[in-house]
Chain A
Amino acid sequence: MDLIQGTGIAKGYSGHQALDDVHIHITSGSIHGLLGPNGAGKTTLIRILMRILFPDKGSILYRGESLSPHHVDKMGYLPEERGLYKKMSVWDQLLYFGRLRGLSRADARTKARRWLEKLDLARWQHRKTQDLSKGMQQKVQFAIAVLHEPEFLIMDEPFSGFDPINAALIRDEILAMKKEGRTIVLSTHNMTSVEELCDEITLLHRSRVVLAGRMTEIKNRYKTGEYLIRFRGHHISFASALWTSGQITGKLEDGAYTTLTVKPLEAGGLNKVLQNVLPVAEIVEVRERLPSMNDIFLQAVGAHSSLNTQSSLSE
């Protein structure tokens, strides 16, 4: 079931169309990657989802209801540009934002205490945020976004500024929240985290959606039919044995082992390839080569850019 269903969203600023006929579906309980190059319109879309901005056109449904202020209470937001009151203590800050999110004073206190412990910030709770390191300020910001336990959480570049240990801590918290059934939108340029965490994505480019769907489907759609075959033996004898059953598109040598990327060309596909090469190579691993999110991103954005260039040239 869709938690968010955005249809035909458009938003323009003076002389610039930030979003143009954008459709977005966010499945309830999923981690949804919102991807796109800089200036694609991600922040504008997030702000519209958070009701900070209002679209010029289009509609947004939240669990089937038109998005309205009371829905925002169920949302959490970690903006890319982190902002805290510099001269306010960590504790006061958590309490203030928690209460702005609709928590009672007692609830805000209990939850603030819990998150301070979880994120190892308890020792710093009475310090002003300006006295904290950047990483710690990031953790405070994260705690503010999740303090009221939102069912829908939007995080813009949640890992930026974190060292690997804290990044892992945040990643674990995100996964734990998913386990609890919360829906999370990750807007990021970090494709590794997209691979690790996301169930589905929406890729924006030049104000439009150029790719959307479940990760597995998209990866299938972008796969090239190539396989990675790792074997012990010489790659020339492998290539001779392969003959016309497949085409080698990549090679990686690793000591006594070689990994070749092979695209089957004849009927029988991978089976035929393996039949041919088994007599000359000791095969240790065969797996389908799926495109990385990085490849997909580059391909989708690149294809769209070149399409746009071509159409503008033909005009």
Chain B
Amino acid sequence: MVSARLFLVLQREFFTRVRKPTFLIMTLLGPLLIIALYGGVIWLALSEEKETLIINIVDDSEVQAGHLVEKLNRQAEIRFVRVDSNLIVATDRLAAGDAPYNALLYLPRDVVNAPSGITLGFSQRPGMSLIRAVEYLCQKAVEHYRLLAHKVDPHVYEMVRAPFHIKQYYIQEDGSRTGANEAPYIWGYVASLIMYVSVLLYGAQTMRGVMEEKAGRVAEVLLSSVRPFELMMGKIMGIALVGLLQFFIWIVFSAVGIFLLALWLLPEAVRDPDQLQILLDQSAQRALIEGKEGIDSAQVAELLRSVNLGVMIPSFLFYFLGGYFFYSALFAAVGSLVDSESDAQQFALPVTLPLIFSIAVAMAILNNPDGRLATLFSMIPFTSPVVMMVRIPFGVSVGEFLLSAFILLISFLVSVWVSARIYRVGILLYGKKPQWRDVLRYAVKG
């Protein structure tokens, strides 16, 4: 009968929340809004790059390097024309605004030995990436003529200075390797942030739910049928299920979204996963050769591939549940003690502070996810859910994971036990704001 009542409370908490239109809106539109926000920023940034640079080359160089510059160019945003061959005329036309070009590249006579004489003029400043691209083309052209001057075959030279990256990897306890690149930083950052926001949001929901029942005086009617512990746990578990459902929907949506994205960006890698490595190597090569910064589609694919989602997702769900139960029990106790929002803020502060601290710690340990600080805060239940999310993408030993999980589990039980004692007294306390020492007494004596 006991569990049946707890189940009834849980059911009510779950269904009343899930049936609300806000749940559907938040579940479906929430991530879309975030994506739209980030996407919008990226789109704005990218759309700025779309400007076209039409460059009039004034080529005074002995070697006629302008031709090579034109030949080397692969960028659609850069076009070369040769309308005016006189620098003064070209400058005047550009200044007057009636030129069919918007930039002016001057190659001096001794461009091979004195390339610093190369100038790029414009009436409106183009984006940095376009300037860098022009610089890169000039540099490659000058390099070419210098190699010829020193009788070095440019093909041999390309071969000699072929760039390479050192591949990093972790050696796991079972001898297997896992990749080590920037991806874990990104995963750690994102997962810890989601963990922090989720625990805080769902914890606050528990607190508000308890407060509503207390302020609406439903608590007393409920307590005549249900034990305070059942009422509190039913609420906590019902809201946890709401969170899990929301995560489940997001995971399914993300999986579908990622697959569609991959199909769109890298159809060859979707058909044959081995292709991805080739694409990645090409991408890395290109980045090094062109000196280009930024993420392309192959790197995005690597970001998704480089983390073991089979470990990441269950770990996230475990730490979410552990962290949520640990914190929401405390939030429930706070909710039971207060009648108003303003009092709630005062009592909630000692509960939210460690959570805020944990995200600060998480950001700090991104630089050294295996350091002593990281290990220490992985064992403290107040910080472990958020901190472990930073560390898991980098790989955490099974022993450490189990110890952290065990401590969190025990702490959650203690937190529920203490909170239930406070809750039992607090929920029936009206009109009197308890002092901290009263709260301590409720926790000890019940």
Q: Are the chains A and B members of one assembly?
A: yes
Q: State the Cβ distance, B25 to closest chain A Cβ, in Å.
A: 17
Known: A82-B217, A83-B217, A88-B16. A99 touches B224 (CB 8 A): no
Interface size class of A (residues with CB under 8 A): 20 to 34
Interface membership of A14, Cβ < 8 A: yes
B217 engages A79 (CB within 8 Å): yes
A99 to B16 CA separation, bound complex (whole angstroms): 16
A73 to B221 CA separation, bound complex (whole angstroms): 13
Q: State the Cβ distance, B23 to closest chain A Cβ, in Å.
A: 14
List of B residues within 8 angstroms of A102 by Cβ: 1
A77 to B218 CA separation, bound complex (whole angstroms): 12
Q: State the Cβ distance, A88 to closest chain B Cβ, in Å.
A: 7
Per a CB cutoff under 8 Å, which of B216, B220, B225 touches A72?
B225
B12 engages A81 (CB within 8 Å): no
List of A residues within 8 angstroms of B349 by Cβ: none
A268 to B173 CA separation, bound complex (whole angstroms): 109
Chain B contact residues: helix, strand, loop or mixed = helix
Interface membership of A144, Cβ < 8 A: yes
Known: A96-B8, A96-B12, A102-B1. A84 touches B216 (CB 8 A): yes
A272 to B216 CA separation, bound complex (whole angstroms): 63
List of A residues within 8 angstroms of B222 by Cβ: 100
In the complex, the number of residue pairs spanning A and B with C-beta atoms less than 8 Å apart equals: 56
B8 engages A85 (CB within 8 Å): no
Q: State the Cβ distance, B405 to closest chain A Cβ, in Å.
A: 34
A79 to B428 CA separation, bound complex (whole angstroms): 12
Within 8 A of B (CB), among A1-57: 14, 47, 50, 52-53
A87 to B16 CA separation, bound complex (whole angstroms): 9
A100 engages B217 (CB within 8 Å): no
Interface size of B by CB at 8 A reads 23
**Cβ contacts A64-78/B at 8 Å (1 or 0 each):** 000001001101010
A99 to B225 CA separation, bound complex (whole angstroms): 10
B1 engages A75 (CB within 8 Å): no
A147 to B393 CA separation, bound complex (whole angstroms): 55
Interface membership of A234, Cβ < 8 A: no
List of B residues within 8 angstroms of A85 by Cβ: 216, 218
B218 engages A84 (CB within 8 Å): yes
Q: State the Cβ distance, B26 to closest chain A Cβ, in Å.
A: 17
A53 to B227 CA separation, bound complex (whole angstroms): 10
Within 8 A of A (CB), among B310-355: none
B221 engages A144 (CB within 8 Å): yes
Q: State the Cβ distance, B19 to closest chain A Cβ, in Å.
A: 10
Interface centre among B213, B220, B438 (most CB of A within 10 A): B220
B216 engages A47 (CB within 8 Å): no
A290 to B223 CA separation, bound complex (whole angstroms): 41
- Chain B residue with minimal CB distance to A77? B224
Interface membership of B219, Cβ < 8 A: yes
A86 engages B216 (CB within 8 Å): yes
Interface membership of B134, Cβ < 8 A: no
Q: State the Cβ distance, A13 to closest chain B Cβ, in Å.
A: 9
Within 8 A of A (CB), among B199-229: 213, 216-227
A53 to B428 CA separation, bound complex (whole angstroms): 9
A86 to B217 CA separation, bound complex (whole angstroms): 11
B221 engages A79 (CB within 8 Å): yes
- Chain A residue with minimal CB distance to B430? A81
Q: State the Cβ distance, B354 to closest chain A Cβ, in Å.
A: 28
B226 engages A100 (CB within 8 Å): yes
| Shortest Cβ-Cβ A-B pairs, 7 listed | A83-B217, A83-B218, A77-B224, A100-B225, A81-B217, A79-B220, A52-B223
Enumerate chain A interface residues (CB-CB to B < 8 A): 14, 47, 50, 52-53, 69, 72-73, 75, 77, 79, 81-88, 96-97, 99-102, 141, 144
Enumerate chain B interface residues (CB-CB to A < 8 A): 1, 5, 8-9, 12, 16, 213, 216-227, 428, 430, 438, 441
Instruction: List 15 contacting pairs A-B, 8 Å CB cutoff, sorted by A.
Output: A14-B438, A52-B223, A52-B428, A53-B428, A79-B217, A79-B224, A81-B220, A82-B217, A83-B219, A83-B220, A85-B216, A100-B222, A100-B225, A141-B221, A144-B221
Known: A75-B224, A83-B216. 13 other contacts (CB 8 A): A47-B428, A52-B220, A52-B224, A52-B428, A79-B220, A79-B224, A81-B217, A82-B217, A83-B218, A83-B220, A85-B216, A85-B218, A87-B16
